[in-house]
Amino acid sequence: MKKIVQLFAVLILIASCKTEEKKENIVLVKPTLFHEKMIEHKGQIVDVRTPEEYKEGHIKNAMNIHLYDKDFKDRLTQLDKDERVYVYCKVGGRSASAVEIMKANGFTNIVELDGGMDAWLDAKKPIEQ
């Protein structure tokens, strides 16, 4: 009887975790998978670096919404919360902060580039200038 109760508790725990996964799809991925996901599932690409960093090279079709601009949260309203958002910075710190802000503002489908633009370039992925 005790094993049945334990099994039932584990099944409830698993079911509740799966429900949570469906509500929030926020993932941190390496450059190759980030690139594959962008090709496979179109979405909005957000570069949260400074405008100067953005001009030095960015991922194709990325919009520059600098994390530390006063209007960062206002500019997020330009994005579709129901559409996937790909977000990156230089090494990952700013994008992690941006993801937290986005989550707090109702975004639930976010793919973050692990290692940022530095990792992207190390992986020899394409950029635009």
Cβ atoms of residues 38 and 86 within 8 Å: yes
- In the set 85, 89, 98, 113, the catalytic residue is 89
* Backbone dihedral region for residue 111 (phi beyond 0: left; psi -120 to 50: alpha; all else: beta): beta
Q: Is 89 a catalytic residue?
A: yes
Query: Count of CB atoms within 10 A of residue 100's CB?
Result: 11
Cβ atoms of residues 113 and 95 within 8 Å: yes
- Active site members: 89
